[in-house]
Amino acid sequence: MRRNKSSTYILPLVARNSDLVTNFISEDNYPTNLYHNSYLYHSIEEYKFPCLLLVYKFTPNPIYEIFENKFLLTNPNFIEKKDETKYLVSYLFKIPNDCLEDYDNFIKGKYSKIKQESKNKIIRFLNLIKYEKESKNNDIVNVLYKSSYLKEKLEKKIDYILPDDAELSSSIEIIDETFNLEEYLKGEENEQMA
């Protein structure tokens, strides 16, 4: 499963400062290899405020319960837990008030307009601190800082000179940012038949 953009740019904003991506996604610490994705929208429910939905495959064991209590249910931005199916659970988080402007910039595809404090959270959460603003090794950092390296790389790829104010990543695709249980179940069924 390909991670969507909210996993990269919004999940770090709802996580606590001490959390790292490995707390949510890695297979080493907890059963977080069960992480499915994060979403801004739900195909059935309409949220009345900016939020993030984290979806996990549920496994009934004590390790999952420890993980859930340590990283999800005790997060100050946590709102509710919902059993989508017997083995799929979602956790709804509000976007913190101090990140609402960054959330709006993300929705508009204005990644470079995200505040420095939030950029730092994203970089720290994704464990990208070792990369400089003009790094050839990390496109996320290059997108956040609109690096000249990435701009030139993209221009060569598309054979077009981008305007100086152009963002270096496409805007979000609503379909990629919307959790659709029916589509998820179809995908699971197809994987089992393969």
pTM: 0.87
Domain, as residue range, for 63: 1-194
Mean pLDDT per 10-residue segment, the chain (194 residues): 87 80 54 77 88 88 82 92 92 96 97 96 82 72 93 95 96 94 79 58
Total tally of structural domains belonging to the chain: 1
Q: Which residues contact 21 (CB under 8 A, 6 or more apart)?
A: 11, 12, 125, 126, 127
